[in-house]
Amino acid sequence: VRALKAALDATGNAKLTGKVMAHIGTAVDTGKPAVEAIEKSAKAQYKALADANRLAEIGNVSEDVFVKQMVAGARGQIITAGEAGIRRTQLVNDLMQPGNPRLAAVLGGDAKVMDALLVEHGNWKGLMGMLEKGSPEMRQASQKLLARRAAIYAEVEEKFGAKMAGTASQEAISDVDAATKGVDAGKKMIEAEEFVKAKYGAGWSEVLRMNFYTEAGRLTFYEKIMPGLSAVDRAKLLGDVTAEAEKLNIAKMLHHAADDPKRIAEVEAYAAKMGVNVKDPRVTEMLGKMAIAGDKERNKLLLEIDDLVKRYHAAEAGSPEQIDLAKKITFKQMEANSLTVEAYIGPGAGRMTVSGIKVVGPEAYQAAMSNLEMIQHIMHEVSGDVATASREYEVYKYMNRFAEAADAAGVKHTSLDYWKNFSGFVASTERGATSTVAHVGEKTAATTSKKGAPVLSDLNPKIGVVTDQFLQNQYQGWQAFSQQVLGDLKKIAAEDPGAWAKFNAPRPAAGAKP
């Protein structure tokens, strides 16, 4: 908290500092009894495990690490979720008590108890993040819940044809993204959501950390017609798609920022580099739609796209009608994705991440801005707490994709390699590299590269203490880097507006966001 205050003071915005610190102070003070309770329970649990010679079941971590991990998880929940975070912390504390009947029922595979626990807690990532750091029984329970969610997904796949890209991750906090296919993909997606909502309530997506999308090819539908367009027409279409992506991404980022002055200023800085007026009528229009609760507007678009896809397939191949329909499908899907909780808006991001294409020019620019929007989404989830967001690997996944897009486009920046390597290391090689206990023990697994990311030396596979101040400074550096590079990407796109990487057939995937 002291580190956060120092960073806020550096902005020179006293009003912002007061507002943020008041929020955190209130949350921490109100949640103090819950944090103290879980700290006490963690110490008692550790002693019981030590007395029973069971420390190997929790990786032989020290008492200090075991307790700190539980306390850090509780504090993070409370700071970001307030009263809900306190309630969730109390629930986890109950599960830690010896002989807890609910935990026993989960271990026994009772689906009704598991479902009730998930709904009561309300946040898959928070629950699983603490369970997998708790007692052996809590860790076993996390695997039972993971299996339960897999069963739910299997049922949805059978009923609605929603499929994941690749295989499901076995990481407890992982998310599930699945896509519906075919000419009725929009209808199937809506039905799949309603099916899960009926079981887990309006907050089903957060409860299960599960999302449904239509197949990724709808976002990138225009690539079907690109090879047949003239150079002039290709550049015109790419320019139109990019201009729409700019406005929709800025609108979405402003929506995430809500009334947080610091986040708004960050988005406005990006908008300036993109040449987007935050008061543009299209931005204002989309902000209004995003502010409306529920998925009515998005669902309307999804069904319209179903109709357009059917008309596209019925039209004469290569006809002006079919070309026009392909364009409409892309633009409609971009808008639908902007109204979706977590989906890439720019087709370039979909082609790069889902189809594995090394995008260039305008599409690389689209990919970069879309990954910045994802980072702002994460900041929104943690109430703007940079240190909390930076403790987990997910934000680095999007930083890495931004850097990869910049590299593919030919951006030259002195910090590009650093951000590509640092973010790649945290996102792929060692996902706990920025955690509160990153400095504890040797990270032998981090000496082996994953997805070509950097590694630690096998001579000294250790990470130093990662402080909040370090993470705050890192994010400030990221802001400066990403703003400059975003402007560079726009210039590169303008220099060769028709630059386009050849078509690859999209794989079945979770919308545009894997």
For residue 459, give its domain range: 229-292+343-495
pLDDT tens-digit series, residues 320-345: 999 999 999 999 999 999 999 899 99
CB 81 within 8 A of CB 28: no
Q: Please state the separation of Cα 230 from the chain's center in Å.
A: 37
Q: Which of 305, 219, 114 is nearest to 510 (CA)?
A: 219
- Confirm whether 424 is domain-assigned: yes
> Encoding tokens for residue 304?
């319209």
Same domain, 125 and 244: no
- Confirm whether 68 is domain-assigned: yes
Count CA atoms closer than 13 A to 17's CA, side-chain side: 13
- Confirm whether 4 is domain-assigned: no
pLDDT tens-digit series, residues 351-403: 999 999 999 999 999 999 999 999 999 999 998 999 999 999 999 999 999 99
Same domain, 127 and 237: no
Q: Which of 370, 401, 359 is nearest to 502 (CA)?
A: 359
- Domain boundary pick from 137, 152, 174: 137
The CA radius of gyration of the chain, in Å to the nearest whole number, is 23
Give the total number of structural domains in the chain. Answer: 2
Same domain, 422 and 278: yes
Residues in the chain: 514
CB 137 within 8 A of CB 106: no
- Confirm whether 300 is domain-assigned: no
Q: pLDDT under 50 in the chain at which residues?
A: 4, 8, 20-21, 24, 505-514
CB 365 within 8 A of CB 244: no
Same domain, 274 and 401: yes
Please tell me the pTM assigned to this model.
0.89
Same domain, 101 and 248: no
CB 166 within 8 A of CB 289: no
> 185-200 vs 296-314: helix axis angle to the nearest 10?
150
Q: How do strand 176-180 and strand 210-214 relate by DSSP bridges? A: parallel
pLDDT of residue 281: 98
Main-chain phi, psi angles of 327, to 5 degrees:
-65, -45
Phi-psi bin for 357: left (phi > 0), alpha (psi -120 to 50), beta?
Answer: beta
Same domain, 253 and 359: yes
Please report, to the nearest 10 degrees, the dihedral formed by the alpha carbons of residues 112, 116, 122, 123 taken in order. -40
First to last CA, the chain: 33
pLDDT of residue 80: 84
pLDDT of residue 511: 41
Same domain, 360 and 248: yes
- Domain boundary pick from 82, 114, 137: 137
Same domain, 264 and 367: yes
pLDDT of residue 505: 44
- Domain boundary pick from 81, 107, 137: 137
Q: How do strand 163-164 and strand 176-180 relate by DSSP bridges? A: antiparallel
Residue 480: count of CB within 10 angstroms of its CB: 12
pLDDT of residue 436: 86
- Confirm whether 6 is domain-assigned: no
Judged by DSSP in three states, 413 sits in: coil
- Confirm whether 94 is domain-assigned: yes
Q: Which of 178, 179, 181, 173 is nearest to 206 (CA)?
A: 173
